[in-house]
Amino acid sequence: MCPPAHFKVTYSINPWMDPAKPVDVPLAVAQWEDLRDRYRALGHTVEVLDPRPALPDMVFAANGATVVDGRVLGARFAYPEREPEAAAHLDWFRAHGYADVHEPAHVNEGEGDFAVTASYLLAGRGFRASPLSHGEAQEFFARPVIGLDLVNPRFYHLDTALAVLDDAADEVMYYPAAFSAGSREVLRRLFPDALIAEEPDAVAFGLNSVSDGRNVLVPQGAVGLFGPLRERGFVPVSMDLSELLKGGGSVKCCTLELR
């Protein structure tokens, strides 16, 4: 699910998010439309979430909920600027026939910090999501939740540090330095064959990618990931979302997967 483009940088906690650099709105809209059209060209259905006044960060639709087997765990945002987005997303799900919708008690920012694999629900914590949201998600989805500690503020959401490449085969790629030592060991044990990203690709938001199990939509700056992805049988698709990056998001941040 993608929202229509509506852009304004509201806060900055990372080096690439410089409020002194204005967003080129026409270019940002064109980049968002290219992402939407690319999904459709690859055979995917795209649902569009209408924007609401004074909620410019709705362009980062991944944060609005987590959907597994048609069950919807809503979001509870860490910052007041985004709190009203939670209701906007749940309104959309209810209006589109999703009956099993849970309004969370604890802070989670949707697929920003929840990643779904065949066997697990990976859950980030440390900067946004509350650790209490992990137990809440496990009870709701009845899936084992693996908590992962993020320790580098550049990688404040799990979806900036890890991407699921094939949820049917538990295949992921991630950047180890984003995680605590214990979490790195957990990832190594669970995913011994994971694709390990290097720092330049991670900083270029290369882990903020979306894969359908074959095609992987990758931010264009993460050039070091293209070769390793091809070697594993994936088709990397370069995406220019440079204007979205100014707001701290890229391909995955703009995409909420409806499972």
Active site residues: 157, 253
CB atoms inside a 10 Å sphere around CB 213: 14
CA 149 – CA 216 distance, rounded (Å): 25
C-beta separation of 157 from 112 below 8 A: yes
C-beta separation of 259 from 110 below 8 A: no
C-beta separation of 145 from 138 below 8 A: yes
The set of residues, in sequence order, having a beta carbon less than 8 Å from that of 102 and lying 6+ positions away, is 71, 72, 73, 74, 140
Going by C-alpha positions, the residue among 154, 148, 157, 159 that lies closest to residue 182 is 148
Phi–psi pair at 244, nearest 5 degrees: -70, -30
Going by C-alpha positions, the residue among 201, 146, 144 that lies closest to residue 173 is 201
What residues does 114 pair with on adjacent strands?
123
Consecutive H or E run containing 215: strand 215-219
